[in-house]
A = this chain, B = another copy of it.
Amino acid sequence: MNSTKEVTIYDIAKVLNISPATVSRGLKDHPGIRKDTKKKIHNAAQKMGYQQNTFASNLRRKNSKTIGVIVPRLDSYFMSSVIAGMEKVANGAGYNLIISQSQEFVKKEIASTTTLFNSRVDGLLISLSSETKNLDHFDAIFRKKIPIIFFDRVIELPNCTSVVINNERAGYDATRHLLDQGCKRVVHVSGSLNRNVYADRLKGYKKALSEKRIAFDPKLVFTNNLSDQSGAEVARQILKMNKMPDGIFTANDTTAVACIRELKQAGVKIPQDIAIVGFNNDPISRVIEPHLTTIHYPGEEMGEVAASTLINGLKNLSSGNLNTMIIRHELIIRQSSVRKTS
Q: Is A3 an interface residue (CB 8 A)?
A: yes
Interface stretch among A191-199, A208-216, A283-291?
A: A283-291
- A202 contacts B by Cβ under 8 Å: no
In the complex, what residues of B have CB within 8 A of residue A257's CB?
Answer: 287
Nearest Cβ on chain B to A3's Cβ, whole angstroms = 6
Is A55 a contact partner of B120 (Cβ separation < 8 A)? yes
A132 to chain B, nearest CB (A): 18
**11 chain-A/chain-B pairs, Cβ below 8 angstroms:** A4-B143, A4-B144, A51-B117, A51-B140, A74-B84, A74-B87, A76-B80, A77-B77, A84-B101, A87-B99, A289-B289
Residue of B at shortest CB range from A91? B100
* Residues of B contacting A49 in the complex (Cβ-Cβ under 8 angstroms): 140, 143
Question: In the complex the two chains form, what is the Cα distance from A59 to B61 in whole Å?
Answer: 14
Q: Check: A322 CB closer than 8 A to any chain B CB.
A: no
The verdict on A170 contacting chain B, using a C-beta distance below 8 Å, is no
Copies in the complex: 2
A63 contacts across to B, CB distance below 8 A = 1
B96 touches A115 (CB 8 A): yes
Residues of B within 8 A of A111 (CB): 91
Contacts of A261 in B (CB 8 A): 287
A3–B87 CA distance with the chains assembled, in angstroms: 28
User: How far, in Å, is A52 (CB) from chain B's closest CB?
Assistant: 6
Question: Is B59 in contact with A59, judged by CB distance below 8 angstroms?
Answer: yes
Most buried by B among A51, A64, A81, A287: A287
For chain A, residues 254 to 271, give those with C-beta under 8 angstroms from any C-beta of chain B. 254, 257, 261
In the bound complex, residues from chain B placing their C-beta under 8 Å from that of A75 are 77, 80-81, 83-84, 300
- Top 8 A-B pairs, shortest CB-CB distance: A55-B59, A75-B80, A55-B58, A55-B55, A74-B84, A80-B80, A287-B287, A74-B80
Residues from chain B with a CB closer than 8 A to the CB of A74 are 80, 83-84, 87
Give CA–CA (A79, B74) in the complex, Å: 10
CB contacts under 8 Å to B, within A66-106, are 66, 73-77, 79-81, 83-84, 87, 91, 96-101
Pairwise interchain contact A101-B79, C-beta atoms closer than 8 A: no
In the complex, A283→B285 CA distance in Å? 11
